[in-house]
Amino acid sequence: MPELPEVETVRRGLQPVLEGARLTRVEARRPDLRFPFPERFSERLTGKTITALGRRAKYLTMHVQDGPVLICHLGMSGSFRIETDDDSETPGVFHHERSKSTAHDHVVFDVVAADGARSRVIFNDPRRFGFMLFAEGSPETHPMLAGLGVEPTGNTLDGVLLASLLKGRGSPLKAALLDQKLIAGLGNIYVSEALWRAGLSPLREAGTIARPGKKARQQSERLAEAIRSVISDAIAAGGSSLRDYMHTDGSLGYFQHSFAVYDREGEPCQKPGCGGHIERVVQSGRSTFYCRTCQS
């Protein structure tokens, strides 16, 4: 699944084309993706002006004037591409190229900008695990978004808040960080990276960094800073560039080349003076990568 940085870079790629533009035509080429499209899907969007393109955790939100909010999830293989009057090709150099077959083009948005420029935004999803749903009113009350935790961006997530979220939890630290009701949008890759930066083992009990005392307080502060920085760095670098993910312009992100532990089993730890090696263990059916020498 695309993680938060991937979804945010998709949002930023779509924003200049969609925000302020009018939807002149919306076409759903099949009745469903992971879920059926909402009733009167095309009718309720056509003719509307897009006022804002947002993101909550791993979900994109498209706000339209006097209409519903469109909630979109990319699923495992979903992507958007932008076609304009001047360029009908998708630019970019691909490391793992995604499908361009029109058989997988499931939703087409034709838009016209305030200056008259016309564009077409196409949602392509070979595995059809993505979805598009409507929220009536605030998207925060929609079942898909209600109950999501704090965003791991900005300064809201600090050591004090993180400690309060993890206090008394006996589950492994990595598992707790993946709980979307605590912190929204964190995924397997960036949790592994953040824990390495903070020098904390993914196997330790989550509540141990919320105990009274200076040591635990420092650990929670280090981890909060590591989470914020790894997400910020990934967004700046353009996501993780894993298979089945690309930007809206067709190019791939390159943060995977900066991974310190993820998918580096057996390699020397990159932390200066550590001398350890990256190990892989399985937690809840998912791969965890860490260095037992410098992460405790």
| Residue 116 CB neighbour total at 10 angstroms | 6
Q: Return d(Cα 222, Cα 113) in angstroms, integer.
A: 45
Cα separations in angstroms, 108 against 31, 45, 119, 257: 13, 12, 10, 33
Residue 228, annotated as binding a ligand: no
CA angle, corner 96, sides to 93 and 102, nearest 5? 85
Q: For residue 102, give every residue at least 6 positions away whose Cβ sits within 8 Å of its Cβ, in sequence order, or none.
A: none
Q: At what angle do helices 214-237 and 159-166 cross, to 10 degrees?
A: 110
Report whether 247 belongs to an annotated binding site. no
Q: Which of 44, 100, 204, 286 is catalytic?
A: 286
Residue bearing tokens 């550590």: 274
Question: One of 58, 81, 120, 197 is an active-site residue; which one?
Answer: 58
Q: Is 55 annotated as a binding residue?
A: no
Q: Which of 2, 5, 38, 202 is catalytic?
A: 2
Contacts 24+ apart (CB under 8 A), 101-107: 101/126, 105/29, 106/28, 106/29, 106/30, 106/33, 107/26, 107/27, 107/28, 107/29, 107/132
If we measure between CA atoms, which residue out of 127, 119, 101 comes closest to residue 50?
Answer: 119
Q: Quick check: is 286 catalytic?
A: yes
Identify whether 222 is a catalytic site residue. no
Binding site members for DNA: 104, 127, 169
Q: Which residues are catalytic?
A: 2-3, 58, 286
Binding site members: 104, 127, 169
